[in-house]
Amino acid sequence: MPGKSEKRTRGTKSSPIIIKINGKAHEFELGRDLEPETTLSFLLREKLGYTGLKVACDEGACGACTVLMDGKAVLSCMKLAVEAHGHEIQTIEGLPKDDPVIKAFADQCEPGYGTALQCGFCTPGFVMAAKGLLNENPKPSPAEIKEGLSGNICRCGCYSGIARAVLHASETTEGGKK
């Protein structure tokens, strides 16, 4: 696999990089606003202040930086910002406060499964991974939820509660959509 700096770049000074983020189009100039090697996570978090996503491992191993690109879950630490040109990005800040997946995570306290979050560090990544999963598969089985969220790590060990919350979100709504 090529290193981040070896990946193909897009955009020139004469052709800006345009990324729609949480419904709003942003224009960036290569060399001024970002560099060819700037990751999407760095652009979103450090330059634009979308601090919901977390950069924990910075190498694609934990899922804390998950965002949606055109409705699919992607690891923003493994995407170059220039690769998002022409695409639509959604971070957890772009979800409504009453989003059914967020609500299911907050409400989860079922005996035998526990809560879906303790410290909350992993939660935005899990929520966005769950949104991506439910976009592709609105009614996943428990096994499909386990598989779909297998790229995300929770150091507090809330896996049972998280899987239960995603199942409840899929049951109470049409695939987590209102």
Q: Which residues bind ligand FES (CB under 6 A)?
A: 55-58, 60-65, 75, 77, 117-122, 154-156, 158
CB of 59 to ligand FES, least distance (A): 7
CB of 70 to ligand FES, least distance (A): 18
C-beta of 1 vs 25, nearer to ligand FES: 1
C-beta of 18 vs 55, nearer to ligand FES: 55
CB of 151 to ligand FES, least distance (A): 8
Q: Please report the DSSP string for the chain in residue order.
A: ---GGGS-----SSS-EEEEETTEEEEE-BTTTB-TT-BHHHIIIIIT--TTS--SSSSSSS-TTEEEETTEEEEGGGSBGGGGTT-EEE-GGGS-TT-HHHHHHHH-EETTTEES-SS-TTHHHHHHHHHHHHHH-SS--HHHHHHHTTT---TT--HHHHHHHHHHHHHHTBTTB-
CB of 158 to ligand FES, least distance (A): 5
C-beta of 58 vs 88, nearer to ligand FES: 58
C-beta of 21 vs 44, nearer to ligand FES: 44
